Structure 1
Amino acid sequence: MSQDYARKLFVGPKLKRLRRELGFTQARMADELGVSASYLNLIERNQRPVTAQILIRLANAFDVDARQFSADDDERVVAELEEILADPLLKGIEVGRGELRDVIDAAPAMVDVVRRLYEAHVALRGRPEAASPALADTDRAEGAYVENPVDRVRAVVQDARNHFPEIEEAAERLALELATPGHELFYALRQRLKDRHGIRVSIVPDELMRHDLRRYDRHRRQLRISEFMEPSGRTFQAAYQLAFAEAGEIIERLANALEPEMTDARRLLRIMLANYFAAALMMPYARFHEAAEALGYDIDVLGARFGASFEQVAHRLTTLARPTMRGVPFFLLRVDSAGNVSKRFSSGRFPFSRFGGTCPLWTVHATFKTPGQILTQVVELPDGSRWFSVARTVRRALSPYGVPSPHFALGLGCELKDAHRLTYARGLDLAASEAAPIGINCRLCERAFCPQRAAPPISKSLLVDETVRSVSPFAFV
């Protein structure tokens, strides 16, 4: 296949599925798009690629997100299916990437069926009475995957590419109304909560908060924020409360649409959407995007300008997916010193693992040796794709003397082709930079002779030879 052909976007099955969902004939959809019915028929049969003009017309005529036709999104789903097919249960069943793409195109609903069935299988296997040595790792704090509300919400957010236009627009309108930038925003939010909603905001001594950082008393209509919250955290918590007060209907409508059943997942989704609103209010889309582009995505400078923490800015950068004003498609991952993953967000196609930790060769883990220092790295995944990452340690809140302060490491990255837009890559010859070969995690990585390998890949057979000791503790075929 030529490179020119590979770059063309063939979306036939997806376009046909959209047309059938709308109840349109080919003639009617062709008329809406301003093309002939015969040309639309060729597109639907993948005999013609879709053009940028037609994608724009699709988005405008049918109010759909053009990103749903992205080939990058298909690659992410292919990676998820390959992870499932690597399970020992399915050993011996060979399914090529081409076949997986055919399934995604022809029967996307079946992909969801496979996901849910596999998640249920792993959840049952993770029970103590049915523990599986294939996935269980007794040396890690993170045990076998068990489906829970957190994973459900993560899936919902990933499907939306971590971008919610309705919330963005509501937060931007309110930010214009408040017209108070940076660290001064906290006082404007506190006044707004008091004047419009009768909610008093107080900064409370630690001994009165015990283990809470924020607590809202509905009866007294009082929002209490711990004194241990730094200024950016106080602003965020006040904005979070205002989200329910002024954008509650939008949050409820989105939560109902994305998770119709009243479950813990839906409650968590409401919290996530309120958090999204808070970040969008602190860093309004258009103004934040303009500053990010002008500053080369310098996280510290953006934080100073918008009164936000390093983590808040990094997280916000993963949401810049407005079709008319896109930012760099970042992914973000947060881990603790034991390698447990507590955040995964992506507006691009980075293939996160859903069933384990991360690769120890990635510099995100090295940041714990240099707290507060930014480390950069060019990495290459087994599929040959190259990425540029920025990593640094962060903390949640202050702690009194003698109490352990929780520290995490953030990894923020993008495809290497976008790295030239970042201040962190200035002066680097990205084309000539040596890339660190990393994997998704040890269980899914098939790289041989890795000195950091903690477990053999589940897709290979373990090779035990008492006469040989390699740099890697595990050999496999």
Structure 2
Amino acid sequence: MSSKLFLGHRLRRLRRDHELSQTDMAQTLAISPSYLNHLERNQRPVTAALLLKLAELYEVDVRTFAANGGARTGPDALAEIFSDALLSDLGVPRYELAELANNAPAIADAIARLYGALKEAARNPEIASAGDARALVTPENWVRDYIQQHRNYYPALEEAAETLGGALSDPLSMAEPMRRRLKEAWGISARVVPQDELGNVSQQYDQDRRLFLMSSQLRPENRTFALAYQLALVEFAAVLERLVAEAAPPDEGVRQLLHMSLANYAAGAIMMPYGRFLASAEQYRFSIDRLCGEYGANVEQVAHRLTTLNRPGARGVPFFMLRVDPAGNISKRYAGENFPFSRFGGTCPRWNLHAAFQANGQVVTQLIETPDGQRFFTVARTIERPIKSDLSGGLLAIGLGCDIRHAHRLHCAEGYDLERAPVTPVGPACAICPRIDCGYRATPPAGRMLAIDRTRKTISPFPFVAG
């Protein structure tokens, strides 16, 4: 490992994520506050010994921390942006993109936000013509980036939810204890009503009547989640408001979406309290089906919860997760550590996430390898939408994965010879994927010279010159 690792911004972000002062962190690391200050300002390199101490005390993955520190906009995301036809002629080398992502992460984030706004302007020219550039920052992207910045982990919500969820735990179902809690502590009555009474709404709180209504078409696990969501809104109102205020969303729409997302997070934490859920996950070797049965949750709820197990000193397997529809639209994207796919585009067609739609109800596993040599064990399966309705569309698919070094801990990897099993090469968006001989390539790579010979045809529709 190099002794010249200047990781100041990553160290500072780690400290702030744990809400520590420089004095507090310096004390835990057994160094002086002035030395920590020099490290954060890149006036001193982070030594291998200190990096190992960070890994021990703060559950830092050394390779990830040294590579990109969990930055929101890493070199891969910047490479995707600079592969755009608008910028590709600049020929910005990857090492410069890596330097930008590592040494000026806020500027990298700003570039990503501007690029996202540019893409949105192309899709919605009427919004672009209104003159307010902030309207082009889509709420879902803003919230998704904010959540990923915090590695999908919120200690204040976890602590509050663990206390409440533990008090409400019931081996039969948490739905009834939560319904009673709403009524006895908050004077809120919960009822299930026909969908016709709610129109296009699946759940609704009537504050004037202190009445929480849920559609009769919600599946049982989603009714339980709905109760947990409403409970989170009232029980954790102060915590949620503080977190949203600290995030400083750009407008009211983003503010509401972030508030809802954090309440969803809290609902999952109430249903699946951290300590008990992690212990169950370890006991069942992260078997989603067994965890669903244990906690009365569905596949999506459990999969999402697995991406949030990032408590220092008590981490689970650092999973990444996607949710897609049959058309390939990504509606959820979370990662407990790093995420091997494109930030702005879709998924690689060689990843068998979409094969789950042809194997409804079955678990589809796959070993994949990214162009930089990292290997991941992945699981894909279909799920039903939360509400039974002719208007709600068909199935969705969930993709869950982790670095191969964690695969031995997974129930679904039993029987795999992780050293000899077939590995599928995958990549990011085709425009930035460096793989040459790929028959799935949909577009030529930006900035690369095509190597087409009219006298022969290659397996890849867009062969190009390497290097």
Asked if Structure 1 and Structure 2 have the same fold, meaning a TM-score greater than 0.5 normalized by the shorter chain, the answer is: yes
Q: In the alignment, what sits opposite 1:55?
A: 54
Structure 1 122/303 Cα, relative in aligned 2: closer, same or farther at 3 Å? Answer: same
Q: In the alignment, what sits opposite 2:271?
A: 282
Structure 1 219/161 Cα, relative in aligned 2: closer, same or farther at 3 Å? Answer: same
Structure 1 residue identity aligned to 2:153:
H
Q: In the alignment, what sits opposite 1:344?
A: 333
Shift in Å, 1:234: 0.5
Secondary structure (helix, strand or coil) at the match of 1:88 reads: coil
Q: In the alignment, what sits opposite 1:450?
A: 438
Matched, 1:79 2:67: no
Q: In the alignment, what sits opposite 2:109?
A: 112
Structure 1 13/45 Cα, relative in aligned 2: closer, same or farther at 3 Å? Answer: farther
Structure 1 73/165 Cα, relative in aligned 2: closer, same or farther at 3 Å? Answer: farther
The unaligned stretches of length 5 or more in structure 1 are 60-64, 132-145
Q: Provide the C-alpha distance between the structure 2 equivalents of 1:257 and 1:204, rounded to a whole number of angstroms.
A: 37
Q: In the alignment, what sits opposite 1:239?
A: 228
Matched, 1:91 2:88: yes
Q: In the alignment, what sits opposite 1:271?
A: 260
Shift in Å, 1:37: 8.3
Structure 1 249/98 Cα, relative in aligned 2: closer, same or farther at 3 Å? Answer: same
Structure 2 residue identity aligned to 1:361:
R
Matched, 1:177 2:173: no
Structure 1 293/9 Cα, relative in aligned 2: closer, same or farther at 3 Å? Answer: farther
Q: Provide the C-alpha distance between the structure 2 equivalents of 1:129 and 1:276, rounded to a whole number of angstroms.
A: 34
Q: Provide the C-alpha distance between the structure 2 equivalents of 1:432 and 1:418, rounded to a whole number of angstroms.
A: 16
Q: In the alignment, what sits opposite 2:297?
A: 308
Q: Provide the C-alpha distance between the structure 2 equivalents of 1:16 and 1:316, rounded to a whole number of angstroms.
A: 27
Q: State the aligned residue count.
A: 449
The answer to whether the 8 Å contact 2:368/2:423 transfers is: yes
Q: Provide the C-alpha distance between the structure 2 equivalents of 1:47 and 1:216, rounded to a whole number of angstroms.
A: 51
Q: In the alignment, what sits opposite 2:378?
A: 389
Matched, 1:186 2:175: yes
Q: Provide the C-alpha distance between the structure 1 equivalents of 2:221 and 2:24, rounded to a whole number of angstroms.
A: 52
Secondary structure (helix, strand or coil) at the match of 1:70 reads: helix
Shift in Å, 1:450: 2.3
Give the 5 Å matches for 1:354-393: 354-393=343-382
Q: In the alignment, what sits opposite 2:131?
A: none
User: What is the TM-score of this pair, normalised by structure 2?
Assistant: 0.86
Q: Provide the C-alpha distance between the structure 1 equivalents of 2:290 and 2:280, rounded to a whole number of angstroms.
A: 9
The answer to whether the 8 Å contact 1:10/1:49 transfers is: no
1:327-347 superposed Cα distances (whole Å, 9 cap, x missing partner): 000000111111111110001
2:151 to 158, 161, 179: 161
Matched, 1:122 2:119: yes
Shift in Å, 1:448: 2.5
Shift in Å, 1:475: 3.3
Q: Provide the C-alpha distance between the structure 2 equivalents of 1:289 and 1:58, rounded to a whole number of angstroms.
A: 19
Q: In the alignment, what sits opposite 2:427?
A: 439
Shift in Å, 1:56: 7.8
Indicate the larger mover: 378-387 or 276-285.
378-387
Q: In the alignment, what sits opposite 2:133?
A: none
1:207-245 superposed Cα distances (whole Å, 9 cap, x missing partner): 323332212222222111111112110010011011111
Q: Provide the C-alpha distance between the structure 2 equivalents of 1:14 and 1:340, rounded to a whole number of angstroms.
A: 32
Q: Provide the C-alpha distance between the structure 2 equivalents of 1:163 and 1:29, rounded to a whole number of angstroms.
A: 20
Secondary structure (helix, strand or coil) at the match of 1:89 reads: coil
Indicate the larger mover: 265-274 or 49-58.
49-58
Structure 1 405/30 Cα, relative in aligned 2: closer, same or farther at 3 Å? Answer: closer
Shift in Å, 1:261: 4.3
1:253 to 223, 239, 242: 242
User: What is the TM-score of this pair, normalised by structure 1?
Assistant: 0.84
The answer to whether the 8 Å contact 1:398/1:405 transfers is: no
1:172-227 superposed Cα distances (whole Å, 9 cap, x missing partner): 1111222324x521011111111111211111123323332212222222111111
Q: Provide the C-alpha distance between the structure 2 equivalents of 1:407 and 1:27, rounded to a whole number of angstroms.
A: 51
Indicate the larger mover: 185-194 or 45-54.
45-54
Q: Provide the C-alpha distance between the structure 2 equivalents of 1:435 and 1:39, rounded to a whole number of angstroms.
A: 45
Q: Provide the C-alpha distance between the structure 1 equivalents of 2:70 and 2:24, rounded to a whole number of angstroms.
A: 31
The answer to whether the 8 Å contact 2:70/2:149 transfers is: no
Q: Provide the C-alpha distance between the structure 1 equivalents of 2:217 and 2:13, rounded to a whole number of angstroms.
A: 52
The unaligned stretches of length 5 or more in structure 2 are 129-135
The answer to whether the 8 Å contact 2:341/2:427 transfers is: no
Aligned sequence identity (%)? 44
1:54-74 superposed Cα distances (whole Å, 9 cap, x missing partner): 538997xxxxx9689922544
1:265-310 superposed Cα distances (whole Å, 9 cap, x missing partner): 1110000010001000000000000010111100000000000001
The answer to whether the 8 Å contact 1:213/1:225 transfers is: yes
Q: Provide the C-alpha distance between the structure 2 equivalents of 1:272 and 1:130, rounded to a whole number of angstroms.
A: 25
Structure 1 218/463 Cα, relative in aligned 2: closer, same or farther at 3 Å? Answer: farther
Structure 1 246/36 Cα, relative in aligned 2: closer, same or farther at 3 Å? Answer: closer
Indicate the larger mover: 157-166 or 107-116.
107-116
The answer to whether the 8 Å contact 1:72/1:349 transfers is: no
1:472 to 460, 463, 467: 460
Shift in Å, 1:39: 6.8
Indicate the larger mover: 83-92 or 411-420.
83-92
Structure 1 398/109 Cα, relative in aligned 2: closer, same or farther at 3 Å? Answer: closer
The answer to whether the 8 Å contact 2:113/2:137 transfers is: no
The answer to whether the 8 Å contact 2:307/2:321 transfers is: yes
Indicate the larger mover: 455-464 or 342-351.
455-464
